[in-house]
Amino acid sequence: MTAQVHVPSLLARAGTASVLTIALGTTMLAPGLVNDAEAATHSTKALKIAASKKGSPYGYGATGPNRFDCSGLTLYSFKKAGKKLPRTAQQQYNKTRHLAKSQRQRGDLVFFHSGRSVYHVGIYAGGGKIWHSPKTGAVVRLEKIWSKSVWYGRVR
């Protein structure tokens, strides 16, 4: 979108968030703004889908659309965004392009590991946070990455 938008007339017809979205040329996504080029990627679409599942209960082995385990949420989100992932967190790690922390972007997968074994996965939301389905009794939520034992992967 170009900057040739007449913002005052838009203010009269749209809410503040919509006007900011138009004026900045970005798409609103939790937890922040994502530009149009990024929004077109499968990873960013998957991030938006995962965020839309906020509050869905954890279910062991569940792959949606109403209950999820950790890898079930990532599988579901990327499938809806047009990308196929294997079922488990370890298999998903094995199928992604591995990245350094400095290369991570919103929509990349964050894999928690103990030694060489991956035990949890979430979708990077920016700002050191992930969308994930943590454990029995919990719900899909946005949470700060709590461990330094993480690897990053980009879905190809």
Catalytic machinery residues: 70, 120, 132
Q: In what order do the strands lie in the sheet with 129-132?
A: 97-99, 150-154, 109-114, 117-126, 129-132, 141-144
Q: Is 152 exposed, middle or buried (0-12, 13-18, 19+ CB in 10 A)?
A: buried
